[in-house]
Amino acid sequence: LFRTYHNPTYFSRRLSRFADIYMASLSCLLNYDLQHTFYPRRTPLQHESPIWPEQTSTGAMNIPFQSHRTTTGSE
């Protein structure tokens, strides 16, 4: 619904386009260039294992990645 592999879906992009930026004061925007683009932090979805350990979410399961071994006919 929100992501296809590592790419956000069209629905997610449209939703984030209209998302509000919350801050303590409007004057906080003076610290940014007029051309600055704000992006949300990427966090794993509920069904994904966390790729970046510092960005774990409360519902994400800690599932280890499986290593895939390719074999050739000579082995």
Query: Between residues 9 and 3, which one has the greater pLDDT?
Result: 9
pLDDT tens track for 9-42: 877 777 766 666 666 777 888 888 988 887 767 7
pLDDT tens track for 43-71: 677 777 665 555 444 544 444 444 444 55
Query: Between residues 4 and 9, which one has the greater pLDDT?
Result: 9
Burial class, 21, CB count within 10 angstroms (exposed 0-12 / middle 13-18 / buried 19+) = exposed
pTM exceeding the 0.95 threshold for the entire prediction: no
DSSP 32-69: S-TT----PPP---TTSPPSSGGG--TT---PPPPPP-
